[in-house]
Amino acid sequence: MSSENSASEARSVESKISPPPLTCPRCEGLLPSVLGEISCLLCGARMKIDHEPTRRDWEDEKLSCPECSKILVVGLGERPCNIRCSSCQCEIEVKVNVPKTEIECPGCERRLRLRTKPGTRKVSCPACDTQFEMTG
């Protein structure tokens, strides 16, 4: 048995740039922060979202290779996408940015960073188990 690591395994990095928060023209709910063909998670309306400045920022986005730390320019105007490190040749998956909201737990006043999602949902604090509703 050889102990070689598989060099072809994709590493992933989360993009730091997300499209501006947009609301659904039909139900005014928060839309998922991606570009292209999307459907509203709340009312199911389908639409095509595009945003030139975000695509340009995505093209110019710099990130460091998770393998060799070399700074790379992504050069692609879409997320998710795959790039190859020019230095160590590893493949990197650049994932969409998931916006997070910081809220305070009403039970223990701890600050929690939670993923932003459309609509209102019940969450429970990992520290004190208090259940509360969060919007967005």
The residue ranges that bind Zn ion (CB under 5 A) are 24, 26-27, 29, 40, 42-43, 45, 65, 67-68, 70, 85, 87-88, 105, 107-108, 110, 125, 127-128, 130
Rounded to the nearest 5 degrees, what angle is found at the Cα of 118, between the Cα atoms of 61 and 31? 55
Question: 55 or 132: whose CB is closer to Zn ion?
Answer: 132
Report in angstroms the alpha-carbon separations of 48 from 35, 36, 95: 8, 5, 20
Q: Which tokens sit at 75?
A: 């050069």
Least distance (Å) from Zn ion to the CB of residue 1? 27
Question: 17 or 45: whose CB is closer to Zn ion?
Answer: 45
What does the alpha-carbon distance between residue 59 and residue 47 come to, in Å, rounded to a whole number?
23
**Residue written as token pair 């879409």:** 78
Question: 100 or 110: whose CB is closer to Zn ion?
Answer: 110
